[in-house]
Amino acid sequence: MYVSVIKPIILYAASVWAPAVKKIGVQKHLNTIQRGFAQKICKSYRTVSLHSALLLAGLIPLDLRVHEHADLYEAKRGRPILCLPDDRELERRVSFMTAEHPARDIEIGFSCLEDLEPATVEKYQLKGQLIFTDGSKIEGKVGAAISVWREGEERRAIKFKLERYCTVYQAELFALWKAVELVREGKERQTCIFSDSRSSLELLQNPKSSHPLGFAIKKNIEQIRNQGKDIRMFWIKAHVGIAGNERADELAKTAALHKRTLADYQECPLSYVKRMIRQNSLDQWQDRYTSGTTGGTTKIFLPDVREAYKIIRKIQPTSTAVQILTGHGGFGFYLHKFKCKDSPSCKCDPNANEDIIHLLTDCPRFGRERQDLEIEIGIKVTPENLKEIMKNVEKRQSFLEFGVTIAEKIIKENKT
């Protein structure tokens, strides 16, 4: 309900009214709306703070989401709010005014091949020049390559370098563009182009696609056909032993890792801008979360909002687990605040509050279970180590089982 109805309604025309979100009054209204839904999503008590509820529900504060939508809208218009790296240009979609009229749009199909055995070669009449294309992103670097074959031998290999922020999808399309350009400028009458990127080939089939590289590939294919040349496109499986495809993959990785020239393609994808916008939002959220006066117990378990999102997605906490992570539940210290219990003290010590941190890390009533857990996970259960325990998948699972067992026992005691 929140994702499909509430959020779209609130974010409607966000680019128009985004400046108003800086006002404290507007932020309070947005927080009121979001807090209720966040508490229901994570199954927490109504007293849980906004910071804790948002973190456990995996939601970004609404005012930051408003700014994200506004910044993304400006980026799509070609005016990104955040500076692009080294003043690079944003990869612009082709305007419908520039694109070909649908009635004159050329059809580009492709066939799917499992291998290039003699039977397949004969069936599909794979003659003339064979060009294999590939793109790769490795160690944060991006490369593309084409390998030209004829009569079972490689005749030419060309490597290309793309900027680090480019995607594999861009690299695959760029390699296809260069392959088609090679055919247009060459004298070969028959050419077969092979790519292991099905999404790139499907893009060429879509008449509504506005990707600039896809548009350039289509224009080149149209010119090739006008020259009377035959060009066909094929999708092949990656890493199944096809020599040309393996060679193109090797060349693309080599280009990414070792090519020292200026990048052959520098257009910044919209996905990079989205990532930078989200990074900025998370930085602001982290500052609020750290400096906020609420959600103290949650901060002990999950001090980092980025790590918290990854953890919460994996564990999908139950109602009892949420009580542990927030400290809001059937524990003496919490119940005493609302006059549901005469004393906040733990049974083990009148001077110790019966809160979840004490129960998990210090209460001698559960010393045996705690010791067994520490032997199992190889780390002492202390308030300082809880964040490290939550980061580790195996340790986290055992710790949560230990915590749920204790919480359920205490909650049952306090009900009587």
Mean pLDDT per 10-residue run, the chain (416 residues)? 93 94 95 95 94 95 94 80 72 79 81 90 91 96 96 94 95 97 94 96 89 93 94 93 94 95 92 91 95 95 95 89 95 94 93 95 95 96 96 94 96 88
Cα–Cα dist 27/41, whole Å = 21
102-267 belongs to CATH 3.30.420.10: yes
DSSP 347: T
> What are phi and psi for residue 292, nearest 5 degrees?
-65, 155
Query: How much is the pTM?
Result: 0.81
Q: Look-up: residue for tokens 């980025």?
A: 306
Determine if residue 139 is left, alpha or beta; phi over 0 gives left, psi from -120 to 50 gives alpha, anything else beta: left
Q: Which amino acid is at 93?
A: R
- How far is Cα 68 from Cα 89, in angstroms, rounded to an integer? 20
Tell me, what's the pLDDT at 51?
A: 95
Per-residue model confidence (pLDDT) at position 358 = 96
Q: Quick one: which of 208, 204, 232 has its CA closest to 219?
A: 204
Give the Cα separation of 388 and 395 in Å (integer): 9
Q: What distances in angstroms separate CA 43 from CA 38, 303, 337, one per listed residue?
A: 8, 20, 21
Instruction: Choose among 127, 160, 133: nearest CA to 147.
Output: 133
Please give the pLDDT value at position 166. Answer: 95
**Residue 247 has what pLDDT?**
96
* Cα(323)–Cα(319) distance, integer angstroms: 6
Cβ count near 66 (within 10 Å): 22
How many other β-carbons are positioned within 10 Å of the β-carbon of residue 196? 22
Q: Extract the tokens encoding 108.
A: 């580009």
Q: Could you give the C-alpha distances from 326 to 16, 321, 356, in angstroms and in order? A: 37, 9, 9
Is residue 270 classed exposed, middle or buried when 0-12, 13-18 and 19+ CB atoms within 10 A define those classes? middle
Q: Which residues pair with 136 in a beta bridge?
A: 143
CATH 3.30.420.10 domain range(s) in the chain: 102-267
